[in-house]
Chains A and B, each alone.
Chain A
Amino acid sequence: MNNRVAFIYSESFLNYKFGEEHPFNPKRLQMTVDLIRELRFLRDEQIVQPRHATLEELFRVHDPDFVHAVQHASTLAVDADPSAIGFGLGTEDTPIFPNMHEATSLIVGGTVLAAELVMSGTVDHALNLAGGLHHSRRKEASGFCVYNDIGAAIAYIKDRYNARVLYLDTDAHHGDGVQWMFYDDPDVLTISFHETGKYLYPGTGDIEERGDGRGYGYSLNIPLEPFTEDDSLLASLNSVLPHVFHKFKPDVVISQNGCDAHQYDPLTHLSATTRIYREIPKLVHELAHEVCDGRWVAVGGGGYDIWRVVPRAWTMLWAELSGQKLPDEVPQAWLDRWQSEAPVKLPGKFLDPIDLFPAIPRRAEIEEKNRITVRRAMLGTPFLL
C-alpha cells in the first residue's frame, strides 16, 4: 500500500474546551500527539496546519441563524445569552466558552482540508483527530459538538468533486447529526455501529432509520447491545462492511473513530478492549484501497477515558493509516511524563490483556442479539440485494 499521509494538527485545536469539569477534554489530543511523537511516528512534512472553515463552508450544513448565534455567544465571557439555549448552546453539554466560533471553525476547516488533500490526490489518507463532531445538527449544537466538521467535509466533497461518500461511524454513540444531514441523499451512505439508544444518548440509530425519499436504504444502523465485547463488535463490522463497500462503491471513505466503546469509558456501556482500535482501522484501510483507490479521511470523535484509552487507541489509528508497525509496549518516557497527572494507572502495552475484564455473564445472548440485528439491518437495505 502506498501511504502518502497527512496529519492535520495545530496546538490551537486545544482551545476547543468546555471547562475543567467537562468530560470532553482536549488533553486527550495533547497526550495522543505526545505519544505519537515519542514513538517517532510523525515526521514534520506529514503535519499540515489546519485553516478556519469559511462561513460558506459552514452554511452548506448549518443554518446561518445558528452560526450567527455561535458567533455571538463566542464574544461573551459567560453563559449570558438566554436565546442561545434554543440553539443548544449554554447547556450542561455545550457550555459557551470564549472564541467558541473560532475554535470550532478551525476543527471544521481541518477536516475540510483533510478531505481536500485526499480528493485532490495530494495524499492517500488524512487524519484530523480533533474532528468527529458528529452530533451537531443543522441548527443546534448537541452532545459536546458545536459545528459538524464531518458534514461540512462531505458537503465540500459533493460540491467540489460530485463524489460518492461512505461515512463510517464507530463511536459508541449514534452518528445522528451526520445521518440527518444526508438522510435523503443516495450519494452519501452513512453507517453507524453504536450502543443501542435504549438508554444511551442520543437515543436514535434504530435499524429502521434507513433514509428517506431517494436516500432510502442509504442510512445503515447497527445498534449493539450494552456489554458487547470485541469479538461480537468485530464480527458485526466484518459481516457488514466488505459487502457494503463493494456494493456501494464509494469514491472516498470518511471514518469517525470515537473510542468510547472501551469498557473503561465512563459514558457508555459497551465492553470492548483496545484490540478493536487496531482492527477497525485495519479493515477500513484495506477496503479503502480495494474500493476507493485508497481515498480515506479519518477523524477522531468521542472517548472519555482520556488516560487509559484515547492516547493508545488514536496512536493505533495513526500507525495503521501511516503504515507503521507499533511496538507492543507503550514508551516508558511517555508513561513517566503523564503518570503523575493521571488518577489511574496508565497501561504499559498497546493491546489490553485478554483477561483484563471478567467475562460478561450473558455473552452468548448478547452475541446472538447482535447477529440478529446485523441480519435485519442488512435485509432492509435495497442496494445490497
Chain B
Amino acid sequence: MLVEQAMTTDVICVTPETPIEEALAITTVNRIRHLPVVKDGELVGIISDRDLRNAMPSCLIEEECEVLKDTPVGSIMKTNVTTAHPLDFVEDAANILYQKRIGCLPVVSCGKVVGIITERDILHTLVEMMGVSSPTSRVEVQVPDRPGMLAEVADILRARQMNAASVMVFPSPTPGQKTIVLRLKTMDPRRFISDVENAGYKVVQPPALG
C-alpha cells in the first residue's frame, strides 16, 4: 500500500508567523499533535504539541503570559523536516517513524504539502490490513517452515470456494514451524479446518479446554 492511500489529506498547517498561543489552540481544538509550518506554499518546518508545551510557562503559574501571544512558532519550530512522498510504501514510512523515533511525516509532492501520515494512520492501516473490520472467522494454522506451505493452505481454501479477508504469516514459538493466521469470510470454518487437519497440519482454534 502507498502512503497516498493511508495519509490524511486535509492537513492543517500554520505559518512561521503564527503565534505560539494560536498554534496550541489549533492542536487542542482539532485534537492533533503536529502542525507543518508552511511559507509561500513550501514546507519550512514542523512543530509538535510537545514543542508548544515546552514553550509554555509552568501550569502552576496562573498569570497571563504575553510572550506566548507575541512569539511566532518560527522561532521554536524544527527545521530539516523528514518527509515522505505519496508514492512511498506505507511500510517504509512506518520504518522511518520507528527508526527516527518521530510521530509523523508531512507528505510532500512537487514542493507542496499534500498530506500527513502519522503513527495513528499507520496503526489504522495495519488494523484494516489484518481484516478486522469485515465479518470473519479467525483460524490459525501451524505449518512447517519450508517453501510452499502458504500455497498448500491456499489450495484448500480454493477447493472450498472460500475467501480470505486477510492472511498473515508469523514465526511460531515452536522451532521449525510457522503460524499462518487467516481471517476467513465464513461463519462456518469447520470443513476448512477438517481439510487442513486431514492434510496433516495443526489448527489452533480457541485454546483447548483446561
**Which residues of A line the B interface, CB within 8 A?**
23, 91-93, 135, 142-144, 173, 176, 197-204, 226-227, 266-267, 269, 360-362
Contacts and interface: CB of A to CB of B under 8 A. Distances in A.
Contacts of B185: 91, 93
Given A200-B137, A203-B132, A267 B190 contact: yes
User: Interface SS of chain B: helix, strand, loop or mixed?
Assistant: loop
Contacts of A198: 138, 206
A91 B138 contact: no
A207 to B, nearest CB: 15
Interface string B154-194: 00000011110000000000000000000101111110000
Contacts of A204: 135
Contact of A202 (B136, B139, B162): B136
B135 A361 contact: no
User: Interface SS of chain A: helix, strand, loop or mixed?
Assistant: loop
Nearest to A195: B206
Interface residues of B, number: 22
A144 B187 contact: yes
B111 interface: no
Contacts of B135: 135, 142-143, 176, 201-204
Interface string B184-210: 011111100000000000000111011
Nearest to B137: A201
Given A227-B209, A360-B209, A92 B186 contact: yes
A91 B163 contact: yes
A197 B187 CA distance: 11
Given A199-B137, A201-B137, A92 B206 contact: no
A201 B210 contact: no
Contacts of B205: 199, 269
Contacts of B189: 201
11 contacts: A91-B186, A93-B186, A135-B187, A143-B187, A199-B206, A201-B189, A202-B135, A203-B183, A269-B206, A360-B209, A360-B210
Contacts of B161: 91-92
Contact of B187 (A93, A269, A360): A93
Given A91-B163, A92-B162, A142-B135, A201 B187 contact: yes
